Amino acid sequence: DPAMTQTPLSLSATPGQPATISCKSTESLLHSDGKTYLQWFLQRPGQAPQLLIYEVSRRFSGVPDRFSGSGSGTDFILKISRVEAEDVGIYYCMRGINPKTFGRGTKVEL
Amino acid sequence: EVQVVESGGDLVQPGGSLKLSCVGSGFTFRSEWLGWVRQAPGKGLEWVASLSGDGRRIDYVDSLKGRFIISRDNARNSFYLQMNSLRDEDTAIYYCVRDVAFGRFDSWGQGTLVTVSS
């Protein structure tokens, strides 16, 4: 089965400083249509997850531009340019090609 | 505003069945894929299944094929998850999601809790 590996699993961030999360897939996420289906979600404490980034680098509506995604094939990165208090939570990457598979999550604390 | 709202979570005994519902609003319901994602207590997210707008295409996670069945009633803007032969490990919050394309889950419900226990 395909797997998504996130690192680190836990991150202590400093407000105003950058933070980076890595996500590696055991299979290429490049689809035959030319798009790469890798999504990032944030689950704040006590809330449902929310979409941050889709197709590697496209920010979802309303997502601050301090969030950015990059990568290709099997290796991807989510970067927060300047961490804010509201960024605390668990970040998940997910392959959008079936079987849709989430990473284990990265817990970000201040 | 796009919105999906789940209901139907409950306490059920092992081996029992339960049907979850999700109602969508704020979008052209019959045109959109919908899906279910679950989260066991204190654990990560697990995609369960997705269903096309016309109901003709269904994708399931392999581990749940045969026990869980998804369906929809576009006339009622409703989406369902029928869960059979429930096990302790099915205990989770079940989220309904709008799946715009290839896992772009852009709208999530608040979740409904299913507890499987004797």
**Tens-of-pLDDT digits for all 118 residues of chain B?**
999 999 999 999 999 999 999 999 999 999 999 999 999 999 999 999 999 999 999 999 999 988 999 999 999 999 999 999 999 999 999 999 999 999 999 999 999 999 999 9
Question: Tokens 């798009």 identify what position?
Answer: A35
Percentage of chain B beyond pLDDT 90 is: 97
The maximal CA–CA distance of chain B, rounded, in angstroms, is 41
Q: Do A94 and B50 touch (CB under 8 A)?
A: no
Residue A79 has pLDDT above 90, yes or no: yes
Contact indicator for B86, B78 with CB cutoff of 8 Å: no
Q: Which residues of A touch B113 (CB under 8 A)?
A: none
Parallel, antiparallel, or unpaired for β A10-12 and A106-109? parallel
Which pLDDT score is estimated for B13?
98
Q: Which are the contacts of B50, defined by CB distance < 8 A and separation ≥ 6?
A: A100, B33, B34, B35, B36, B58, B59, B70, B99
Q: What is the mean pLDDT of residues A69-98?
A: 97
Contact B4, B72 (CB under 8 A): no
Q: Is the pLDDT of residue A92 over 90?
A: yes
Q: Which residues of B75-101 are buried (b: 16+ CB within 10 A; e: fewer)?
A: eebebbbebeebeeebbbbbbbbbbbe
Q: Å from B19 to nearest chain A CA?
A: 21
| CA-to-CA separations, B90 to A49, B98, B115, B117, in angstroms, rounded | 19, 22, 8, 10
The reported pLDDT for the residue numbered A64 is 97
Mean per-residue pLDDT, A28-57? 97
Q: Measured between CB atoms, does A60 come within 8 Å of chain B?
A: yes
Q: Report CB contact under 8 Å: A48, B59.
A: no
